[in-house]
Amino acid sequence: MSWNFLDARARAGLTSVLALAVTLYGLANVMPSIGSFRLGPFPMVFFRSTFFALCFLVVVLGLKGAGGRQLPKWVDAVAWLSVVAMLYACKAFYDVSIAIDEAMFLFGPKDMWTALAACAGALFLCWRLWGAPVALLGVLGIVYMATGPYWPGPLQTIGGDVNELLAQNLWFSLDSGILGSTFSIVVTTVFPFIVLGAVLEGAGAGESMIRIAFALMKRTAGGPAHAAVLASGLFGTVSGSAVANVVGTGVITIPMIKKRGFSANFAGAVEAAASTGGQIMPPIMGAAALVMADYVGVSYLTVVIAVLVPAIAYYGSLFMMILFESRRLGIKADASSAGVAPPERQDYLNMLLVFGPLVMIVVLLVGGMSASGASIAAIALLFPMSFINPAVRRSPMKLVTALRNGGETFAQLLTAIAAVSIVISTLSATGVPVKFGVLMVSALEHSLFVALLVVAGGCILLGMGMPTLPAYVTVAAIALPSMQALGLEPLTAHMFVFMIAVASTITPPVAIAAYAAASISGGRPIGTAVQASRIGIMIFIIPFAFVYNPLILTVPQAGAAFAWGPYLLLLVKLAVAIYVMASALIRFDKRALGWPEVVARLAASVLLFAPGGHTDMVGAALTAALLGLHHWKNRTAAAVPSA
């Protein structure tokens, strides 16, 4: 007997129907009123239990084996058993929540086992979709919550009734656990943007972005590499997912980068680093900007403005890295070898499908509309606008498919959010952030820089293998209270954690974006990850820069009063530091750099932003001297006639 009682076609059809139902149900819950008409919000307890159950069923139906093959029988069996357990747990969540509202409720062993069954099902799917590291975090959280009183030393927690501890903190609460506050934020704020991103992709502007990017960059030495950076930046405004960026643009750009003369590792690294930047590129930012705004208590537009300069600086650094690598390899511009069809008038029209909704979002946010309301309005605008694209006019069902894809994408993301919610509940119940704060204060006794290094290490470690949003939420729960205790403004602390957590997608050993790019380039996964970390090093450095110079984040909520003079000077210093550091890391400018000059350039770039009264002046003087000497040597060498 096979547990795969639905054939592939029936399973795919049912998945599509239910995924579309997820989209429509979720949008109806957050849809703003139209005059006196409004569908949602639906009753909280009912909506959370039914919506999660629906998402869970979509994920189970959509599970596939390696290479898209049929699932192993035991996996399919466990998946369907988890469906039964989850449906029961969701009904129990509803019944218990109603009972708690009406009277006092005491949790017993049955409730504890129901909570554990729900967690087991969610973590099983998380493992199948996102890999073992994310699921193991949830497992460790449950184990620690249950056994905390028996751990030694500072790891020991206060004891209590284990039935109540696990039942309430893991499942039966509207504030903590899988269906708690994190679930609420993601469903009400992030979900509409996930759907918007799916509809933007379905509207068909992706190929147009790539053709336009290649046309703009064809006269540069980097050619396809520069085009990959530009295309991934544009694509990132839509998807906000590093792996989706790699898959969406890398299949075209990576072979072209290799053809231009770059190594396979470098080609994959460029795409991975550029795609990672899509997660910090406004306005979607891997959906983390929406959660950040809610956590910090500022508007979504404030977060978008704050991240704008760091995002542009990061992409600027990628352009410089490619420029110097092209010079080092002696690669010249070759407009005829692009290998991509030139953009047509329709390609430029298709760009309206991307920028029209994004501009509308910004305008509505400035006007005071909520982020979810603005995103739904953008979706409503995009539907008629999408008929600009002839492909959509020929097949309007592409839009329905896009809505379906949005529902399935969100359902899959929700499994990772479930694992993260377990971790957050464990942290809240056991007081780990307080203990981490003691470690931070101890580190601060040495220096703020050491304390930030501790946080950065934790961000990278906990963010490995996770999508952007769960990585940010996990690290934020642990590190942010301590960072604010160090004197950082909430927005600055959140942005630091966010950018470092994003960087984990290119950081060995679990560099998911680099691995995806290596599978296309044919390069070595670890080698590609190392190269990507070198090329994208500014994503690690910029957060330290804006901690010491919060004016980089532009908005006053970051902790610095805005003034045009200091702001413009800071931007100039940032641009110079990027130039100097990029050339040092590639070990090439106009000509090869020796190690003494590499070290001196790195020191100069650090001094431009190091804290202290006149360190930036010292850095500027050293930079001017180094660049002047280098260019003089280059002119002198060029003037000497060859033998």
Q: pLDDT digits over 263-277, tens only?
A: 889 988 988 898 888
What angle do the packed helices 352-366 and 191-202 form, to 10 degrees? 150
Asked whether residue 625 is domain-assigned, the answer is yes
What is the predicted pLDDT for the residue at 226?
Answer: 82
Question: Per mean pLDDT, which range of 23-37, 130-144, 279-293, 546-560 is the poorest?
Answer: 279-293
Amino acid at 59: V
What is the predicted pLDDT for the residue at 239?
Answer: 60
Asked whether residue 433 is domain-assigned, the answer is no
- Model confidence at 3: pLDDT above 50: no
Asked whether residue 119 is domain-assigned, the answer is yes
Query: What mean pLDDT is predicted for residues 265-291?
Result: 81
Counts for the chain of helices (H) and strands (E), in that order: 29, 0
Asked whether residue 418 is domain-assigned, the answer is no
Residue 225: which H helix or E strand, with range? helix 224-239
Contact, 407 vs 16, CB < 8 A? Answer: no
Torsion of CA 442, 447, 449, 451, to 10 degrees: 10
- Model confidence at 643: pLDDT above 50: no
Overall domain count for the chain: 2
* Residue 589 belongs to domain spanning: 578-643
Mean pLDDT of the chain: 82
- Model confidence at 220: pLDDT above 80: no
Q: pTM score, two decimals? A: 0.76
- Torsion sign across C-alpha atoms 409, 518, 318, 313: positive
Asked whether residue 419 is domain-assigned, the answer is no
Q: pLDDT digits over 198-210, tens only?
A: 888 788 777 787 7
Q: Express as a percent the part of the chain with pLDDT over 70.
A: 88
Q: Which of 125, 111, 22 is nearest to 81 (CA)?
A: 125
- Model confidence at 509: pLDDT above 80: no
What is the predicted pLDDT for the residue at 582?
Answer: 92
Q: Which of 182, 200, 230 is the last residue of a domain?
A: 182
What is the predicted pLDDT for the residue at 2?
Answer: 43
Q: Which of 228, 265, 162, 230 is nearest to 521 (CA)?
A: 265
Greater confidence (618 vs 515) lies with 618
Q: Which of 119, 147, 182 is the last residue of a domain?
A: 182
Quick one: pLDDT band at residue 310, thresholds 50, 70, 90? very high
Q: Which of 132, 152, 182 is the last residue of a domain?
A: 182
| CA atoms of 427 and 429, how far apart (whole Å) | 6
Asked whether residue 541 is domain-assigned, the answer is no
Question: Per mean pLDDT, which range of 233-237, 415-419, 544-548 is the poorest?
Answer: 233-237
Looking at mean pLDDT, say which of 112-121, 176-185, 245-254 comes out highest. Answer: 112-121
CA distances (Å), 126 to each of 194, 196, 412, in order?
18, 24, 8
Q: Which of 574, 130, 547, 498 is nearest to 282 (CA)?
A: 498
What is the predicted pLDDT for the residue at 580?
Answer: 94
Asked whether residue 435 is domain-assigned, the answer is no
- Model confidence at 112: pLDDT above 60: yes
- Model confidence at 334: pLDDT above 70: no
Asked whether residue 49 is domain-assigned, the answer is yes
